[in-house]
Amino acid sequence: MTDDQLLRYSRHILLNEIGIDGQERISGAHALILGAGGLGSPVALYLGSAGVGHITIVDDDRVDVTNLQRQIAHNMAAVGTNKAWSATQTIAGINPDPVLRTVQQRADAALLDSLVAQADVVIDCCDNFATRQAVNAACVVHRVPLVSGAAIRFDAQISVFDPRDAASPCYACLFPPADAPEETRCATMGVFAPLVGIVGSMQAAEALKLLAGLGQSLAGRLLMLDARDMSWTSMRVERHRDCPVCGPQALLNP
């Protein structure tokens, strides 16, 4: 670690739970971020500023002026440009250390299989159920921890699914693929701007904890937030033996 890096990351290094060893683990890690919108913006900025060594951001969407109410990685100059590219430019303006890669296409199963295999942690910031299921399936196959968040209107949720832990459920244990809900999007339902900042920041915190090897993750717990009165609800989530993604039969017949 260079003198400049010791200075840049000094507030992390001062923490006994991180120190130089933890910061070096962060700097040597690869984070995959799916989505560079409301949730992905704070995730990308915090992971980038914290010095995660390699960051890959996947998003096929372009910045629109309606995004700027909450998607803090973008500005007026970025309107019309790809969101993944815009987010990497913002990170680069904060911290020159991370190696940044953009994937400017929609994530399908084949792409996710390739990208997840290269990652140490995956942060799901996408906005549709099918992609969430595909991300989860790839994480189970490659045994890569997944930090999942969602937010709409004034309601949000966050959890960690860690296939390295035999007791940890996967996303499909909680939300079975066959039970696809009706899709709700910010464009039609609205979203409280700070809500995505709250949840995205928590996703970044969980990702950094996993990379640094500190504390206890949210694996096995689902946190739900009602921002109308800032009330949090915590729910235990168990691994389902008959899960079609992480159950024994599914793993025997991928």
pLDDT higher than threshold 60 for residue 254: no
Catalytic positions, written as ranges? 186
| Domain range 3-252, CATH architecture | 3-Layer(aba) Sandwich (3.40)
pLDDT in tens, 204-225: 999 999 999 999 999 999 999 9
pLDDT higher than threshold 70 for residue 63: yes
252 pLDDT tier (thresholds 50, 70, 90): low
Output the six-digit token pair for 153. Answer: 């209107």
Q: Could you tell me which residues come within 8 angstroms of residue 126 by beta carbon, excluding any fewer than 6 positions away? A: 34, 35, 107, 132, 135
pLDDT higher than threshold 80 for residue 30: yes
User: Measured between alpha carbons, how far is residue 241 from residues 16, 33, 176, 248 in Å?
Assistant: 38, 29, 13, 7
Average pLDDT estimate for 218-242? 96
Average pLDDT estimate for 49-61? 98
Average pLDDT estimate for 2-10? 97
| pLDDT value of position 50 | 98
- Residue ranges of domains in the chain: 3-252
Please state, in angstroms and rounded to a whole number, the distance separating the CA atoms of residues 202 and 147.
Answer: 9
Please state, in angstroms and rounded to a whole number, the distance separating the CA atoms of residues 169 and 220.
Answer: 6
| pLDDT value of position 127 | 87
pLDDT in tens, 115-158: 999 999 999 999 899 999 999 999 999 999 999 999 999 999 99
Tell me phi and psi for residue 233, to 5 degrees: -125, 130
Instruction: From 52, 50, 59, select the one nearest 31 (Cα to Cα).
Output: 52
Percent pLDDT > 90 in the chain is 89
Q: What is the mean pLDDT of the chain?
A: 94
pLDDT in tens, 169-204: 999 999 999 887 666 666 678 999 999 999 999 999
CA 107 from centre of chain = 14
